[in-house]
Chain A
Amino acid sequence: MIRGQHLLGMRGVPADTIYGILDTARGFKEVSRRTIKKVPSLRGRTVLNVFYEASTRTRVSFELAGKRLSADGVNISASGGSTSTSKGESLLDMAQTLDAMQADAVIIRHGQSGAPHYLADRIGARVINAGDGQHEHPTQALLDLMTIREQFEKLEGLEVALIGDIRHSRVARSNLIAMKTLGMKVRVAGPATLVPKELCDVYGCERCDTVEQAMEGAHVVMSLRLQRERMVSGMLPSLREYAVEYGINSKLLEKTRHEAILMHPGPVNRGVELAADIVDGSRSVILNQVENGVAVRCAVLYSILGGEQP
């Protein structure tokens, strides 16, 4: 990904581009820690945040990233029925309207897989995927990789345990693609209904029968949120049973390497995916992920929109 391109997913993004974004993000993390958290790089550029699904951290993170780069940002939340979508306007109509407003970039979260690709083919602005259906969430994968890199520096060869609802997770999908590109080894575990066998053939990961097996010797444990809103009934017997069988607790964490880190894209269902004590424990880097999210999104915006004025 270089200037003038879209970021629609991690598929096809080469390793040197991923490392380039992560290196750039380091500089932006320093900007976020300044008293005056603002640089002039995207002054005069217009960035639209269009969120068709409820989101707090991703939306705020993109919004802050745009502000830190001095871009003019407009936020459109289409999930509350407060926009033209509630009047029957299609995604394309809305996109063309936004395009006519001379947007330089459109950041889109949409419940339909492929919606950002659809837009990218039809509008002049650069499109950044902020999560589409069960497809991809590339900036989440990048911020996860940044967080892992802060602990281990060399990503190649690291062992990752990915636990939970992988079927419905766009976070998992983007991570699986990017981690494979970087030569990381991913083991997955979760209920059979949520970790289909064919998924491992497609993404080149190893499927484990138990969470314990997946976590054995892992450098990174990545727990995923149960996407209950995307499940049809019958995929889980009960939350209680899920917590007992697949929830991660401090005893399970002992199976990992002593320097292992615990990640979660948030928001955490405490006591379900993760025991409450380890969410706030010393291995948890969940808040680091949130902080790195702003830096990575700054780096993505800067890489795509920065540079010489056209």
Chain B
Amino acid sequence: MKENAMSQEMLNAEGIARALDELTDAIHSATTKAPVAIVGIRRGGEHLARRLVSLIKEKYGQELPLGFVDIALYRDDGFGPSDFPKVGVTDIPFRPKEHTIVLVDDVLYTGRTVRSALGAILDYGRPCSVKLAVMVDRGLRELPIQADWVGLTLETTLTDHVDVHLTEGGAEADAVVMTTGGNGEES
């Protein structure tokens, strides 16, 4: 990150809670052909997926199956020459074939992560349909992928950086932070 980079909180804990509440309602009321299951994209979408499942149970008494997908082996950009590849574990403890899957991620940017996640899920079976829920849509898509439900839409440039900080990930408080004037690399 450059020295003159500036960070701004775009959503605080309350804003994230409100956004999650709206996502909860939207997912619950979604008209689908099959039972809904939630799949978080590791690692950004993992905590959000857990929260959504818990909120839906709390609010509607509905217990949705929860899974996680690691996209490392499906990426189209590989990893850098000096990096060690980080391959996580995909865990989908239900049959995709019998479900409408709601994919959950923190930030939707180029669309390549979602494309990879779709590839990984399809290797487990053919879901009835797949929906996408994200906390932040920052635009600048490189593939024709759109979210069905979005917590916050931001207009960004290629050099901006957007982070969703959650307490489960070690943050002091939940927040969406946008940094401008940096190198724009997403984690």
Give Cα distance in the complex from A41 to B73, angstroms: 5
Give Cα distance in the complex from A30 to B70, angstroms: 11
Q: Which B residues are CB-close (under 8 A) to A40?
A: 73-74, 119
Q: Given the interface contacts A24-B87, A28-B87, A302-B87, does A36 sit within 8 Å of B81 by beta carbon?
A: no
A269-310 interface with B by 8 A CB criterion? 299, 302-303, 306-309
Contact B124 A2 (CB under 8 A): no
Contact B81 A2 (CB under 8 A): yes
Contact B85 A306 (CB under 8 A): yes
Give Cα distance in the complex from A26 to B72, angstroms: 13
Q: Which A residues are CB-close (under 8 A) to B77?
A: 308
Size of the chain B interface, CB-CB below 8 angstroms: 24
Give Cα distance in the complex from A26 to B70, angstroms: 12
Contact B87 A3 (CB under 8 A): no
For A24, give its contact among B86, B91, B120, B123 (CB under 8 Å): B86
Q: Which partner residue on chain A sits nearest B79 by CB separation?
A: A307
Size of the chain A interface, CB-CB below 8 angstroms: 28
Give Cα distance in the complex from A170 to B4, angstroms: 55
| A11 to B: closest C-beta gap in Å | 19
Q: Given the interface contacts A34-B123, A36-B124, A307-B79, does A24 sit within 8 Å of B84 by beta carbon?
A: yes
Q: Which A residues are CB-close (under 8 A) to B90?
A: 27, 30-31
| Per-position binary interface string of chain B over residues 65-83, scored 1 when its CB falls under 8 Å from any chain A CB and 0 otherwise | 0000010111001111111
| A77 to B: closest C-beta gap in Å | 29
| A169 to B: closest C-beta gap in Å | 29
Contact A299 B84 (CB under 8 A): no
Contact B86 A23 (CB under 8 A): yes
| A27 to B: closest C-beta gap in Å | 3
Q: Given the interface contacts A307-B79, A309-B78, does A30 sit within 8 Å of B89 by beta carbon?
A: yes
Contact A27 B84 (CB under 8 A): no
Answer yes or no: A35 CB below 8 A from chain B CBs.
Answer: yes
Q: Which B residues are CB-close (under 8 A) to A302?
A: 73, 85, 87
Instruction: Find the residue from B83, B85, B89, B123 having the highest chain A CB count within 10 A.
Output: B85
| Per-position binary interface string of chain B over residues 99-134, scored 1 when its CB falls under 8 Å from any chain A CB and 0 otherwise | 000000000000000000001100111000000000
Q: Which A residues are CB-close (under 8 A) to B89?
A: 26-27, 30
7 pairs of residues in contact across A and B, judged by CB atoms under 8 Å: A4-B81, A24-B85, A30-B91, A35-B125, A39-B73, A308-B77, A309-B78
- Residues of A bordering B, CB below 8 Å: 2-4, 16-17, 20, 23-24, 26-28, 30-31, 34-36, 38-41, 69, 299, 302-303, 306-309
